């Protein structure tokens, strides 16, 4: 990055995610971009920070172990209406995106999103859309990621996963046996 980012006077950024490794990587990358980063690994921690020191920017994971990240978004919007909030999630669904934007999120990104995607979403103004990602996942990869996520949420139970995905169990077993697409 050659030119410094225009973050404004307040560079405070709250990152809320229960994936500790992802949270550390993103925090480090955002600090390099000039943000003053605070992290939280739960809804409770995120709300505590939002109450005490409402940030100018926030990146909030939708599904956290102790609840829904939208609770943090709602509190942030009430405490600091002008804050720029991006909701991150591994569960890309149109209904969830609509709910996030309705309660005050500036943008919505599906995981895996990198620091450039997050920065572009945080700094996009008005109707201006951030540029598309340089290396988006292929449709096959998105499908595979979704199947893996549901499989993990079903405690690696093939029959339950197949039922929830409305797919034949043997078809699911074949998909799970293959390597992930690029």
Instruction: Flag whether pLDDT at 131 surpasses 80.
Output: no
Question: Which architecture characterizes domain 12-123 according to CATH?
Answer: 3-Layer(aba) Sandwich (3.40)
Average predicted confidence (pLDDT) for the chain: 84
Give the tens place of pLDDT for each residue, 51-80: 999 999 999 988 888 888 889 999 999 999
- The length of the chain in residues reads 182
Residue 45: band (very low, low, confident or very high) from pLDDT cuts 50, 70, 90:
very high
| CA 162-98-28 angle, 5° bins | 85
Residue 50: band (very low, low, confident or very high) from pLDDT cuts 50, 70, 90:
very high
- Cα–Cα distance for residue pair 14/52, rounded to 1 Å: 12
Give me the residue spans of the domains in the chain. Answer: 12-123, 139-177
Residue 102: band (very low, low, confident or very high) from pLDDT cuts 50, 70, 90:
confident
Instruction: Flag whether pLDDT at 99 surpasses 50.
Output: yes
Higher pLDDT, 165 or 126: 165
Handedness of CA 1, 23, 28, 86 (dihedral sign): positive
Residue 130: band (very low, low, confident or very high) from pLDDT cuts 50, 70, 90:
low
Higher pLDDT, 141 or 106: 106
The predicted pLDDT at position 166 comes to 94
**Structure-token match 């550390």, residue found:** 24
Are 12-123 and 139-177 in the same CATH fold?
Answer: no
The predicted pLDDT at position 43 comes to 93
**Pair 73, 105: CB distance under 8 Å:** yes
Instruction: Flag whether pLDDT at 161 surpasses 90.
Output: yes
Higher pLDDT, 113 or 166: 166
The predicted pLDDT at position 157 comes to 94
Higher pLDDT, 23 or 134: 23
Question: What does the DSSP assignment read for 116-143?
Answer: HHHHHHHH--TTPPPPPPSSPPPHHHHH
The predicted pLDDT at position 19 comes to 85
One CATH from 2.60.40.10, 3.40.190.80, 1.10.10.60, 1.10.540.10 for 139-177: 1.10.10.60
Give the tens place of pLDDT for each residue, 78-98: 999 999 999 887 665 666 777
């Amino acid at each position: 990055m050659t030119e410094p980012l225009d973050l404004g006077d307040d560079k405070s950024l709250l990152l809320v995610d229960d994936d500790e490794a992802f949270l550390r990587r993103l925090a480090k990358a955002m600090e390099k971009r000039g943000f003053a980063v605070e992290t939280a690994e739960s809804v409770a921690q995120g709300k505590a920070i939002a109450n005490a020191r409402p940030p100018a920017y926030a990146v909030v994971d939708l599904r956290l172990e102790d609840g829904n990240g939208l609770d943090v978004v709602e509190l942030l919007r009430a405490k600091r209406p002008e804050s720029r909030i991006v909701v991150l999630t591994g569960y890309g669904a149109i209904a969830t995106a609509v709910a996030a934007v309705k309660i005050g999120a500036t943008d919505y990104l599906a995981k895996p999103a990198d620091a450039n995607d997050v920065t572009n979403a945080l700094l996009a103004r008005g109707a201006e859309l951030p540029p598309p990602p340089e290396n988006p996942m292929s449709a096959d990869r998105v499908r595979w990621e979704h199947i893996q996520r549901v499989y993990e949420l079903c405690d690696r139970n093939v029959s339950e996963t197949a039922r929830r995905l409305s797919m034949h169990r043997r078809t699911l077993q074949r998909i799970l046996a293959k390597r992930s697409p690029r």
